[in-house]
Amino acid sequence: MAQLQMSRGRGITAAAVAAAIVTGLGGCGGEVLAVRVGRTAISRDAVAHWMSVMAPEHVVPVPPGYTACVAREQAQGSPYPPAELVQECRREYRALKQQALDFLISSAWVIGTLAKDGLRVSDREVEKRLEEHATPLAAEGGDADDQKLAARTELAETMIRRSLARADHTVTNAQVAAYYRTHRSRFLVREKRYIDIENLKTRAQALQIRHEVELGESAPFTRGVLHEVIERLPSVKYDRGEDGIRSAILQARLNTITGPLPNGEYGLFEVKRIVAAHYEPLAQVRGTIEQQLAGEQRRLALSRFLAAWRKHWRAVTDCHPGYVVQRCRQYKGPLAPEEPPAFK
């Protein structure tokens, strides 16, 4: 399995950090071991270091009394009594510990996944990632070595995703045809009515213009004509106001002046063209269906991969008491949902 490199931590010697995560069964003595992922050991010093990396201002509350944390909160003017501040400091400490463990275990999982396939993220790839992009989120508070580990983890995740994306997700003609039959309503194009509409200030003006048009004394809509397209929506009832105008438009005959109808002013309209409702032919939507089915296959393949992947790595992730989180074999609590793209 590829070696995971750790940084010189605040308050941790270089030698201690170098031994924080190592390859091989003899990496850490039992007294300093926090987690073992297969042959990779994560030391308690490694967890403490990453808690410091991830903590605001790199200050970690110190159990069991959290005296310094409470004093700091009081100095900042906290109105809460000491007992409540101790509880808050304890929550902060536990959250930081879980965050550090989640990152370190995830890092071991994804880098270990590549190692099983004989792959690794090269040092040059890590350097290029750090040169071209912002500091990885997990290591924003860390030094160069911390950033390298976070970048190596991100790159390993990317390599796994790309490997999954390259898998064949062929969609057959029969699958496309079956989807089209089953979801035919999705390919319904609603009836459209193309109208000319003119708004007049008074009802008398609108009636006069309509009368002149009907007698052939005036061309329809010679002033301020608007061109609009109205769709017939399914199972919608229209009553008054704008809804009443829409209903009138949908009931009007082709090339017939209708109105006046109140719409803030007084509107006259004429339906110039009607495109009847119809279904898009299969040949026209085949490409869209193929893309959708291929995407569904990819998502299903990813979901299956992640289920098997998590099951495998949890089975070989042993955590000592006080360091048990959801990814540990010893974890017995409810499983919180995890987003599929996050290899955690």
Beta bridge partners of 254: 271
Helix (H) or strand (E) holding 179: helix 173-182
pLDDT in tens, 63-89: 999 999 999 999 999 999 999 999 999
Please classify residue 166 by burial: count the beta carbons closer than 10 Å to its beta carbon, then call 0-12 exposed, 13-18 middle and 19+ buried: exposed
CA distances to 4, 55, 102, 120, 318 from 42, in Å = 10, 19, 12, 19, 10
Q: What is the per-residue pLDDT across 171-207, written as a single tens digit (0 to 9) for each?
A: 999 999 999 999 999 999 999 999 988 888 888 888 8
* pLDDT at residue number 105: 96
Query: pLDDT digit string (tens) for 218-269?
Result: 666 666 678 888 888 876 555 555 567 788 888 899 988 888 888 778 888 8
Instruction: Please tell me the pTM assigned to this model.
Output: 0.66
> Looking at the DSSP assignment, which residues form a beta bridge with residue 270?
196, 257
Sketch the domain layout of the chain as residue ranges.
14-166+302-319, 191-276
CATH, range 191-276? 3.10.50
Report the interhelical angle of 82-116 vs 144-165 (nearest 10°).
50
